[in-house]
Amino acid sequence: MTANIYFTGGHEAWRRYKGPLLVALKQAGVAAVLSPTCPDPAAVDYLVYLPGTVPDFTPFTNAKAVLSLWAGVETIVGDKTLTQPLARMVDDSLTEGMVEYVTGHVLRYHLGIDRFIGATGWNKVVPPLARDRKVTVLGLGQLGTACAQALAGLRFDVAGWSRRPKEIEGITCLSGADGLDEALARAEILVLLLPRTPETENIVNAATLARMPQGAAVINPGRGALVDEAALLASLDAGHLGHATLDVFRTEPLPAEHPFWAHPKVTVTPHIAAETRAASASRVIAENVRRCESGLPLLNLVDRAAGY
C-alpha cells in the first residue's frame, strides 16, 4: 500500500526537506507519494506539518496522523478542528543542539567570561569549581533531562523541577509548589525548558524571581511565554537578577524596538538553541509513518489534555 503524504511547510521548507524525506522513507521501507500540494484532502494519509500552515484540519477526513516538525505544539494542541493523532518532533540532533547551547551559556555565566571580553585591566577573579555552583533546570522532559545530566557530568550541583515527581541519577529532583520554591531559592543559574501550558505561562514572574539568589542568571531556550518580560526587566534594572540569555520570545522575530535588544544585562539569540535538522527529523517522520502503517503506536504522541 502506498501512503499519501502532504508536506504543509511551503516552498522554502519543501526545498530543504524533500530530499531527506524521500531518502528516509525509502530507508524505512515505506512506499509513499510525497507532495507539497493538496488537491484532495480526503486522499491524504499523513500530514508533515509546520505550525501555522493548516488553518483547518476538518477536510483531512482519512488522515491517520499529523506529524509535526516542531517539538513545541502549543500553537496547535488547542485546535478544535484537529481530531487526528498528533505527534511532536523528538529528534536526537535537536537534543544535542539544546545540550550544547545550555552547557555553553551555563559555563559562560559560571566562569564569568563576559567580564574578560574587552577587558583592559588585570582583574583577577577566580570562579568557583562547578561542584560549588548551583544550577536549576525547570522542566525534566527529554531536553531538560539531557541538559541536567550533561551539567551534572561537568560536576555542577544540579537540581531539576517538574510537575510530576521524577528520579534521575545525579540530579536533585523536585516537584510541586514547595519543590518549585526550593528549586528557585538555590538557582544561581536557572535554565527554563518547560513546555508552554496554562500552568507554566509566566512561571518566571516578579514573585518567583524574588525567590532566586542575588545576582542569579536566567537562560531561556524553552518558550517565550514562560517569562513575564516586564518582571524580568524590572528585576534586572533593580540589580537583583544579574543577567538573562533569551533564545525564545512571545513575538518572533523579536521586534527591533524591544528593550531586550539594548539592555546591557540581556543577551538575545535568534531562536537557535535547538534547530530542527532536515536529515534527522526526516528519519523520525519516516519511522512514524512506518510504525503507523504497520499497526504500531506512534512515537512522541501528544497528550492533548496535558498540552504536550
Task: Give the CATH number, domain containing residue 20.
Answer: 3.40.50.720
Residue at 251 is within a domain? yes
Identify the pLDDT of residue 275.
84
CB contact at 8 A, 236 and 263: yes
Identify the pLDDT of residue 276.
86
* Cα→Cα distances 184→6, 162, 208, 212, Å: 44, 12, 7, 5
Cα-to-chain-centroid distance, residue 31:
32
At residue 290, the 3 state secondary structure works out as helix
In the residue annotation, 258 being an active-site residue is answered as no
Tell the residue number behind the cell numbers 496547535, with chain if given.
76
The answer on 135 and 281 residing in a single domain is: no
What are residue 35's DSSP bridge partners?
6
Identify the pLDDT of residue 305.
83
pTM of this structure:
0.86
- The type of residue at 244 is A
Q: Return the closest-CA partner of residue 86 out of 98, 95, 76, 99.
A: 76
Residue at 302 is within a domain? no
Identify the pLDDT of residue 193.
98
The answer on 117 and 11 residing in a single domain is: no
Tell the residue number behind the cell numbers 507554566, with chain if given.
200
The answer on 114 and 217 residing in a single domain is: yes
Q: Which of 271, 277, 291, 304 is catalytic?
A: 271
Residue at 304 is within a domain? no
The answer on 72 and 115 residing in a single domain is: no
Residue at 307 is within a domain? no
Identify the pLDDT of residue 192.
98
Identify the pLDDT of residue 219.
99
pLDDT under 50: residue ranges of the chain? none
The answer on 101 and 63 residing in a single domain is: no
Identify the pLDDT of residue 211.
98
The answer on 134 and 66 residing in a single domain is: no
Residue at 166 is within a domain? yes
Residue at 76 is within a domain? yes
Q: Is 285 exposed, middle or buried (0-12, 13-18, 19+ CB in 10 A)?
A: buried
Residue at 37 is within a domain? yes
Residues in the chain: 308
The answer on 146 and 31 residing in a single domain is: no
Structural domains counted in the chain: 2
Q: Which of 108, 110, 223, 243 is catalytic?
A: 223
The answer on 234 and 130 residing in a single domain is: yes
Identify the pLDDT of residue 71.
87
Strand order, beta sheet including 32-35:
32-35, 3-7, 46-49, 65-68, 86-87
In the residue annotation, 283 being an active-site residue is answered as no
The answer on 128 and 240 residing in a single domain is: yes
The answer on 237 and 137 residing in a single domain is: yes
Strand order, beta sheet including 266-268:
172-175, 157-162, 134-138, 189-192, 216-220, 241-246, 266-268
Cα-to-chain-centroid distance, residue 151:
17
The answer on 223 and 283 residing in a single domain is: no
* Cα→Cα distances 131→105, 134, 148, Å: 17, 8, 14
DSSP code of residue 91: -
The answer on 231 and 208 residing in a single domain is: yes
Residue 68 structural domain: 3-91+276-293
Residue at 162 is within a domain? yes
